[in-house]
Structure 1
């Protein structure tokens, strides 16, 4: 699939105004709101991965960055949100 083309089923980047297919999952947690094991997620295309990672990292929210296909292969665990859980 061409990353610039998306369908209704294609996960898209969480960056404002971006409609590009996501290839990364940025797992994060706001310690003031969430338990330590809880993971919220943003999706990122290649272009916005660094920007979104820096935004979360500056706030000490970013926990890990994982390729979307790898994230989807992981077994669901308590506290882990879905790939579009923003």
Structure 2
């Protein structure tokens, strides 16, 4: 862990190799595998929100993007 890494309790970006704090929730599903109401979530930092969203959208998987809600189980 380096000084720039967030504390282990902070949700981090889902982009490969990124350890930045997540601020976006990208909710998606694969209609071939998941029921219409099921949502999976990738987390994204500000820098990766667009690229992760584009990846999911190009495959028809992206359902919505929202600011990440603070977790009630994590301390601020």
Question: What TM-score, normalized to structure 1?
Answer: 0.75
State the partner residue of 1:36. Answer: 36
Which entry has the higher C-alpha Rg, 1 or 2?
2
Q: SS of the residue aligned with 1:69?
A: coil
Can you give the 5+ residue segments of structure 2 that lack an aligned partner in the other structure?
none
Moved over 3 A (4+): none
Aligned length, in residue pairs: 69
Within a 5 Å distance, the mapping from 1:45-60 to structure 2 comes to 45-60=45-60
Question: What TM-score, normalized to structure 2?
Answer: 0.85
Can you give the 5+ residue segments of structure 1 that lack an aligned partner in the other structure?
74-86
Structure 1 position 40, deviation (Å): 0.3
RMSD: 1.5
